[in-house]
Amino acid sequence: MSARYLGTEFDIHGGGLDLRFPHHENELAQSRAAGHPFAHYWLHSALVTVGGKKMSKSLGNSILAGEWLDQTSPLVIRYALTTAHYRSSIDLHEGVLEESASALARITGFLDRTKELSSERVLPERFAQAMDDDLSIPLALAVIHDTVREGNQALDDGDIARASIASGQVREMLECLGLNPESDEWAADRSDVNDDYLGALMSEIVSARESAREAKNFELSDSLRDIVDRAGIELTDTAEGTEWSPRGR
């Protein structure tokens, strides 16, 4: 199968740690015996767990891709699956999709704020170093979020030049990871994706604002309202709780 679709020599062969022996060692031995160079690099991923337990049919805790796609967008799922290093176990715990949607919402919020800025798209050195370090995507994601925070601060300070640099860097990093919501790859479901991000983000903000009001921290409460107001979102306090809506809808 490898030779048919990839040829007798290719760069990367992936698979789970449980396939390292004997499956992959036999595969390599047979190919080398036939005179083929086979794979240059082997990437063996750790196990997937669900709520701290190994995912398996016998435990009845398997998660099908279609089940997740019914809950959220493909981009949120892709982000969720990149949050652990490939050699570390990834736990698909309850709330993982909401956490990923919130994280992406922070990124897309910055992209929306800077979509009119002209910027050169380059990869920061820290990002390149993370990817060169055995594909440390979690560290690469941390660089993206750091750059988003720096870019938002630059916008708040009125430093358009610095914000433009951050904007270009964030977009290039997302493109490298296949996570850029502005790319043609995600064009078909972009509006649904953005709704997922916004809903997850606003849920967190509304909850934080309610906690601040209960603690009588009105300075924080007012600050959160001002932040969403600048983003074009209106908050309405009702007897049932706080409702939000994009201005003009």
Please check whether residues 116 and 220 belong to one and the same domain: yes
Q: Determine the Cα–Cα distance for residues 20 and 44; give it in Å rounded to an integer.
A: 7
Mean pLDDT, the chain, rounded, equals: 89
Q: What is the largest CA-CA distance in the chain?
A: 75
pLDDT tens digits, one per residue of 170-210: 999 999 999 998 887 776 555 555 566 677 788 889 989 99
Q: Which two tokens stand for residue 225?
A: 């309202």
Residue 52: the pLDDT is: 87
pLDDT tens digits, one per residue of 94-133: 889 999 988 998 998 899 899 889 888 999 999 999 999 9
Please check whether residues 128 and 238 belong to one and the same domain: yes
Please check whether residues 103 and 188 belong to one and the same domain: yes
Q: Determine the Cα–Cα distance for residues 147 and 150; give it in Å rounded to an integer.
A: 5
242 forms beta bridges with 237
**Terminal Cα-to-Cα distance of the chain (whole angstroms):** 53
Expressed as residue numbers, the domain containing 227 is 96-246
Cβ(127)–Cβ(141) under 8 Å?
no
> What integer is the mean pLDDT of 153-158?
93
Please check whether residues 225 and 107 belong to one and the same domain: yes
With respect to residue 183, please indicate whether it lies within any of the assigned structural domains: yes
Model confidence at 61, pLDDT cuts 50, 70, 90, reads: confident
Please check whether residues 102 and 190 belong to one and the same domain: yes
Q: What is the Cα Rg of the chain in Å?
A: 22
Helices 160-177 and 96-113, packing angle to 10 deg = 140
Domain of 115, CATH number, reads: 1.20.120.640
Please check whether residues 233 and 127 belong to one and the same domain: yes
User: 180: Cβ–Cβ under 8 A, 6 or more apart, which residues?
Assistant: 171, 174, 186
Number of domains in the chain: 2
